[in-house]
Amino acid sequence: MTSDFTEVARRARTASYDLALANRGRKDAALHAMADALLTRGPEILTANGEDVARAESGGTPPNIVDRLRLTEDRLAGMAQGLREVAGLPDPVGEVVRGSTLANGLELRQVRVPFGVVGMIYEARPNVTADAAGICLKSGNAVLLRGSSSARASNAAIVAVLRDAVAGAGLPADAVQLVPGETHDSVKTLMRARGLVDVLIPRGGAGLIRSVVEESTVPVIETGVGNCHVYVDRAADLDKALAIVLNSKTHRTSVCNSAESLLVHADIAEEFLPRVVAALQERGVVIHGDPSFQAYDGVLVADEEDYATEYLALEIAAAVVPSLEAAVDHIRRWSSQHTEAIVTEDVTAARRFAAMVDSAAVMVNASTRFTDGGEFGFGAEIGISTQKLHARGPMGLPEMTSTKFIVTGDGHVR
Amino acid sequence: MTSDFTEVARRARTASYDLALANRGRKDAALHAMADALLTRGPEILTANGEDVARAESGGTPPNIVDRLRLTEDRLAGMAQGLREVAGLPDPVGEVVRGSTLANGLELRQVRVPFGVVGMIYEARPNVTADAAGICLKSGNAVLLRGSSSARASNAAIVAVLRDAVAGAGLPADAVQLVPGETHDSVKTLMRARGLVDVLIPRGGAGLIRSVVEESTVPVIETGVGNCHVYVDRAADLDKALAIVLNSKTHRTSVCNSAESLLVHADIAEEFLPRVVAALQERGVVIHGDPSFQAYDGVLVADEEDYATEYLALEIAAAVVPSLEAAVDHIRRWSSQHTEAIVTEDVTAARRFAAMVDSAAVMVNASTRFTDGGEFGFGAEIGISTQKLHARGPMGLPEMTSTKFIVTGDGHVR
């Protein structure tokens, strides 16, 4: 453990003690101050971002990655607006989750409390820096931020601006800190900081998340990888099915809740396949199909790799299945347990699919794209958990807390 | 990954699919069948246990450990009764945790579902085998059990009896399995089985728990280590304080919710110290004290090691503190964040202590011994979590579940 990191983590812990006691009014005031500062000090952030963009471009970074890295006045305004929206959400801290008076008169309350110190490891987008800082602050957590080194100047500028704003609003600046160090060693240090860091949240591609999950001794909330399926049942309304398949696949391809595989019941394949193949191809989607799908022009051969792949692009794997059970078996084998959808008018089929599929979200006659904190009405979202411990699915502010029991007696002993 | 283990884990996964769909009636019938079988087939379990006890005795195992290993008809009856009590508890699976109809008409429900496959690693007591099997079955989880090798014959006999009972009640026998292999390698295999095992729960001493937490790639729920404090405030009722200190320390010393450190506000030290020192010593408690406590006969010198120690014995560390804040600082430094108690008649002091102390349970004018699933009214308890993710404090049946979102629409797309 480097002494730099230990020092930063200790300051975060001290800040977390203050933050845990800060009431909603103080935290919301800090969030508005952070939003204001992103706007008033936008020029210095954009200058720093310009350095990152120039370095990326001269290093031959692909244009779509450079675009994710680039900040503009509009994007800064979006980040500021995000912070104001977090200010508008209820404070999860202090919520009484359950309570009772025990037979012996002890008063039991289980109350939401912040985790303490949260570590965030994330990739190129510098807007995550402000989002994560805002969500952590509102939920009473100090945050240690480790963005990608390609965004280091942007992240440093954003954090400097946010820290000043937090301090100006009377809360500890050390509630928001960057993890020191540029190399991968600093990520490792963060991952091994059990006791100093309470929870680690990786946000990014499958490789990043896998490495954090495997190497971290700090408890991790795994987010995001989505190999999502749409199953079109024999009892589907085929118009709804077509709309849901197209929306799930093509509404936005680069996100974890987009569909990557299509399963069609054999009984309706003859009618549905020509429609869905034509409609997908018309929108530029490359289909990797099983033999039934391969009967159509332009459909490529699907192998196991295709069923396992999260394309995040205009590509989809497709197969015909003989039954709902076979669809469930396919999903159990290949899904990342993020979101699966069934299209059916048969209430028993819907009920069985929802019971048998073990994913964070199961959609019945709705697009996979609805698995989203905003769509679910949770407001800000720190990510979509695909693990089973603590939080599953879209994570809002309450998911950024732990609880404690407060038990009040009058000299009670056993 | 040994092929034996992989096979066992796959069978557990398959069993978990059936178990997740089993309704309460079927699970409760299986629990009663398991209880019946422990009694009717008690002789074969006691014979197997006799082997373990004889091996332990001839190997020079200390008598208190041999006692924990030993089963009797009474202890078997207790295990059976425990299973019947689990049958009497509500089924957590299917509980709707939250639900709403979104603005666009989508119906959102967040529903409790089993984890799937749970791994348990535990030490000598063979009764944990039946307890864990019962709690996992009721919460819809298949369980992989890894008890200590000193109890291997007992655990094998108990599992054989329970599996027959589960199968006889029409649920899959593979819902309850032993991890194959006798060596530490089999523990390692279990800890690295990410994807095959959903959650790992270690129960035992601090060393066991630390090694699981550090080596496991499977998500862990950390249980049990309790370095618990009692703080006697300047505004304490000293009679209540004395009763709470004595109960917290001496009611049962070998458990995680017993007190290991006593902090006394300086303003009442002159009056309280002679009383508490005499009362503790009268009950055979060895006091490791700071200079204020050392003024009393028989008090040993406390060093940092003492403040860090979970004695689990008739020993206590003790210090005088100048303020409530100093007590909180001491607790922040040394506590394992299990349970801390304050004794005070001052409502502001109680409120501040409860807010500032970040432990699974904070007791106000009550013994630390109340942090217990049974005392909290949760019924069966799989352990007391000292981590912040997922579950904190006593874990009952609901804590043995995850959730999923079921979202129902009528062709909804974004």
Name the residue with tokens 């390609």. A150
- Both tokens of B361, joined, read 């349970």
Please report residues of B whose CB lies closer than 8 A to that of A377: 100, 102-103, 108
Tell me: do A284 and A306 sit in the same domain: yes
Chain B nearest CA to A367, separation (Å): 5
Tell me: do B104 and B198 sit in the same domain: yes
Tell me: do B233 and B181 sit in the same domain: no
Tell me: do B188 and B239 sit in the same domain: no
On the question of pLDDT at A1 being above 70, the answer is: no
Q: Is B384 part of a structural domain of the chain?
A: no
pLDDT classification of B213: cutoffs 50, 70, 90: confident
Q: Is B336 part of a structural domain of the chain?
A: yes
Cβ–Cβ below 8 Å for A375 and B244: no
> Mean per-residue pLDDT for A172-192?
91
CATH code assigned at B134: 3.40.605.10
Average pLDDT, chain A: 95
Q: Is A342 part of a structural domain of the chain?
A: yes
Helix axes A347-356, B3-21, angle to 10 degrees: 140
> Mean per-residue pLDDT for B381-397?
91
- CB atoms inside a 10 Å sphere around CB A7: 11
Tell me: do B249 and B218 sit in the same domain: no
Amino acid B22: pLDDT: 97
Cβ–Cβ below 8 Å for A405 and B21: no
Tell me: do A14 and A158 sit in the same domain: yes
Q: Is A269 part of a structural domain of the chain?
A: yes
Residues spanned by the domain of A88: 3-223+391-408
Amino acid A2: pLDDT: 67
What's the total number of domains in chain B? 2
| pLDDT tens digits along A307-366 | 999 999 999 999 999 999 999 999 999 999 999 999 999 999 999 999 999 999 999 999
Mutation test of the interface with chain B: which of A358, A392, A401, choosing the one with the most B Cβ atoms within 10 A? A358
Q: Is B17 part of a structural domain of the chain?
A: yes
Amino acid B2: pLDDT: 67
Tell me: do B218 and B337 sit in the same domain: no
pTM of the full structure: 0.93
- Both tokens of A106, joined, read 């002890």
| Residue A124 or A273, more confident | A273
Q: Is A383 part of a structural domain of the chain?
A: no
Give ipTM to 2 decimals.
0.93
Please report residues of B whose CB lies closer than 8 A to that of A407: 361-364, 366, 370-371
Task: From B374, B379, B375, B390, select the one nearest B134 (Cα to Cα).
Answer: B379
Bridge partner list, A222: none
Tell me: do B128 and B277 sit in the same domain: no
Please report residues of B whose CB lies closer than 8 A to that of A199: 388-389
Please report residues of B whose CB lies closer than 8 A to that of A237: 411
On the question of pLDDT at B124 being above 80, the answer is: no
Tell me: do A26 and A173 sit in the same domain: yes
Question: Is residue B336 packed enough to be buried (19+ CB in 10 Å), middle (13-18) or exposed (0-12)?
Answer: buried
pLDDT classification of B175: cutoffs 50, 70, 90: very high
Tell me: do B173 and B272 sit in the same domain: no
- Least confident range from A44-58, A331-345, B368-382: namely B368-382
* Inter-residue contact A316 to A288 (CB < 8 Å): yes
> Mean per-residue pLDDT for A85-98?
96
* Inter-residue contact B114 to B93 (CB < 8 Å): yes
On the question of pLDDT at B46 being above 70, the answer is: yes
Chain B nearest CA to A116, separation (Å): 9
Tell me: do A159 and A255 sit in the same domain: no
Closest Cβ opposite residue A364 in set B110, B403, B409:
B409
Q: What gap in Å lies between CA B330 and CA A177, rounded to an integer?
A: 26
Amino acid A185: pLDDT: 84
Tell me: do B236 and B207 sit in the same domain: no
Task: Round to the nearest angstrom and report the end-to-end CA distance of chain A.
Answer: 43
